[in-house]
Structure 1
Amino acid sequence: MANVEVSLKETMTSIEGAMGAALVDYTSGMALGTLGGGKELDLTVAAAGNTDVIRAKVRTMEMLGLKDEIEDVLITLGGQYHLIRLLKGRGHGGLFLYLVLDKGQSNLAMARHQLKRIEAALEL
């Protein structure tokens, strides 16, 4: 089992093209941990903004009467992928892993697979 710091380090080192990663509480919009990013990628601002994305999708699913769970959300930009993976089980409710990938250096399918593996090992 891995803590937040170890999980974020694993995310950044094991996923090719990773530019930044965060663990976010979408009830508050606060990042519980960040790694990577930089001047042009403020992960704290991104965490708060993506909280709004998740809240909107959850509300929409409720209005539609969908009885399913969000696995992940992908936002594709010209040069980046932004991947949001909602955590499930073991007290992880209300949390998501946020990953920014360089589109030209990453494999989206492998990144999703690795995030799922990292989620399974995360212990809060």
Structure 2
Amino acid sequence: MANVEVSLKETMTSIEGTLGVALVDYGSGMALGTLGGGKDLDLAVAAAGNTDVIRAKVRTMEMLGLNDEIEDLLITLGNQYHLIRLLRGRGTSGLFLYVVLNKANSNLAMARHQLKRIESELEI
């Protein structure tokens, strides 16, 4: 089992094209840990903003009467993929991993696969 720091490092090194990663509590919008990012990618701001995205999707699903769970959300920009994976493991309820990928040198399918593996090893 991996702790937060190990999981963030694993994300940065095992997923090609990763520019930044954050573990976020979507109840509060606070990042519990971040790695990468920079002046053009403020992961704390992104964590709070993406919390609103998740809350909106959950409300929409409730209004539609969908009895299902969000696995992940993908936002595609001109140069980046923003991948949000809600965590379902023991002790991770209410958390999500937020990963920003460089679109030019990342493989989205492989990133999703690796993120699922990292999630399964994460223990809070």
Fold-level match, TM-score > 0.5?
yes
Match of 2:102 in 1: 102
* Counterpart position of 1:14: 14
Which ranges of structure 1 fall in alignment gaps of 5 or more residues?
Answer: none
Corresponding residue of 1:59: 59
* DSSP 3-state at the match of 2:39: coil
Q: Please list, as runs of the form range in 1=range in 2, the aligned pairs for 1:83-94 lying within 5 A after superposition.
A: 83-94=83-94
Contact (CA 8 Å) 2:89, 2:120: kept in 1 or not? Answer: no
How many Å apart are 1:92 and its aligned residue? 1.1
Name the structure 2 match of 1:24: 24
- Distance in 2, matches of 1:61 and 1:16, equals 32
Taking the aligned partners of 1:33 and 1:3, their CA distance within structure 2 comes to: 11
Aligned to 1:24, what secondary structure does the other structure show?
strand
Tell me if structure 1 keeps the 8 A contact 2:91–2:123. no
Find the aligned partners of 1:99 and 1:89 in 2 and give their Cα distance: 18
> What corresponds to 2:79 in structure 1?
79
| 8 Å CA contact retained: 2:26, 2:51 | yes
Stretches of 4+ moved more than 6 A in 1?
Answer: none
> What is the SS of the residue equivalent to 1:78?
coil
Q: Residue type matched to 2:89 in 1?
A: G
Whole-Å separation in 2 of the counterparts to 1:52 and 1:111: 23
Corresponding residue of 2:119: 119
Number of aligned residue pairs: give it. 124
Name the amino acid aligned to 1:23.
L
CA RMSD across the alignment: 0.4
Q: Return the alpha-carbon distance in structure 1 between the equivalents of residues 20 and 63 of structure 2.
A: 33
> Which secondary structure state, in structure 1, belongs to the residue aligned with residue 12 of structure 2?
helix
Identity %: 85
- Residues 80 and 103 of structure 2 are in contact (CA less than 8 Å); yes or no, is this contact kept in structure 1? yes
